[in-house]
Homo-oligomer: A and B are copies of this chain.
Amino acid sequence: MSREEAFQAAARELGYDFNGEIRIGGNYSPLVRHRGEIHVSGQIPRVGNEVMVTGRAGADVPLARAQHASAICVMRALALLRQSLGSLEQVERILRITVYVQCTADFTQQSEVADGASDLLFRILGAAGVHSRTSVGVYQLPKNATVELDMIAATCGA
């Protein structure tokens, strides 16, 4: 299965379409490409205009739902890479993701939430998707999102 096919299969399973152009608000860019590396801005689990998973992991949001949020965030990041590079085949390696989880005071499964993103990266990109990772529990996130995820990726060629 090509990366594109794996990406589309994951999108179907999540139940969303990630093929549209991703627009952003504010005076910054969803990604910046520079000398073989791409910095992807923090992604929340938004599809179109709607944030699909909001609230606090450990309270309103059970673990499986937070993992789903994490998966949507990483699909958005991949959609941005695909849009910028033309194809996911141009991704040389995912270097790092940071996963911020809005949680309760005693929720300690931030790593398990981040697995929702890590599993997809490996499934879609194979060895190129094996990344370094940091996951932390934060107090709030933009638009009450349950998860925010940012990324640094390396691109093929220069």
Contact = CB atoms under 8 A, between A and B. Distances in A.
Contact of A105 (B94, B107, B139): B139
A35 B32 contact: no
Interface residues of A, number: 58
A67 interface: no
Interface in A95-149: 95-98, 100, 102-111, 114-115, 118-119, 121-122, 130-144, 148
A42, A121, A132, A137: most-surrounded residue (chain B CB, <10 A): A132
A136 B110 CA distance: 15
A109 B133 CA distance: 25
A34 interface: yes
Interface in A15-48: 25-32, 34-36, 39-42
Contacts of A154: 34-35
A151 to B, nearest CB: 9
Contacts of A115: 26-27
Given A25-B111, A118-B27, A133-B42, A96 B142 contact: no
B134 A98 contact: yes
Contacts of A133: 26, 28, 41-42
A93 to B, nearest CB: 6
A105 B140 CA distance: 6
Contacts of A26: 111, 114-115, 118, 133
